[in-house]
């Protein structure tokens, strides 16, 4: 996934759900990400910078310390939420629903393979074998089952 760049400060402020004034205050801090010529601001870099510096920010709210702390916490949580969304877009995380869609058929195939080996093939193949021969036969069945499982899991798109 390619990195997202935002061309204007207004678009960046809207994406971060911040006022333009608050965004300007963050971007004027030392070490703040700069606008790349022809691209704009890296959304991930700005989000990370604001998230890291939200606790140090002194807002210009004319209110109580509790209100100031709540505003800073809100900004920090917005940045974390956006950073998480960006990581999901890059494929770092997957949704549980997506995993369920992919894994349900695989787990069904896995269940069928296990029952086939344990209920059908193992009893028939082990009848009349001694302990040592039964273990060898069981090991072969287990190895075969694991190879089949690896082949099934290799088809996962994630």
Classify residue 158: in a domain, yes or no: no
pLDDT at 57 over 70: no
**Tens-place pLDDT, residues 116-131:** 887 878 887 778 888 8
The domain boundary, picked from 65, 89, 113, lies at 89
Residues 13, 14, 17, 20, Cα dihedral to 10°: 30
Burial (Cβ within 10 Å: 0-12, 13-18, ≥19) of residue 43: buried
pLDDT for 90: 75
Q: How far apart are CA 14 and CA 23, in angstroms?
A: 10
- Range of the structural domain that residue 25 is part of: 5-89
**Residue in the block written with tokens 């770092």:** 92
Angle between helices 65-89 and 9-16 (to 10 degrees): 100
Classify residue 29: in a domain, yes or no: yes
């Amino acid at each position: 996934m390619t990195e997202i760049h935002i061309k204007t400060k207004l678009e960046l402020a809207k994406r971060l759900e911040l006022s333009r004034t608050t965004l300007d205050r963050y971007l004027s801090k030392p070490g703040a990400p700069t606008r790349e010529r022809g691209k704009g601001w890296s959304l991930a870099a700005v989000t990370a910078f604001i998230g890291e510096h939200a606790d140090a920010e002194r807002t210009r709210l004319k209110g109580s310390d509790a209100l100031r702390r709540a505003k800073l916490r809100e900004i920090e949580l917005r940045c974390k939420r956006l950073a998480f969304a960006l990581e999901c877009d890059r494929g770092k995380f997957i949704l549980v629903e997506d995993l369920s869609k992919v894994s349900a058929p695989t787990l069904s195939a896995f269940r069928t393979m296990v029952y086939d080996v344990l209920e059908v093939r193992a009893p028939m193949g082990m009848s009349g074998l001694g302990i040592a021969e039964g273990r060898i036969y069981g090991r072969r069945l287990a190895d075969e089952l694991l190879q089949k499982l690896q082949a099934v899991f290799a088809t996962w798109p994630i």
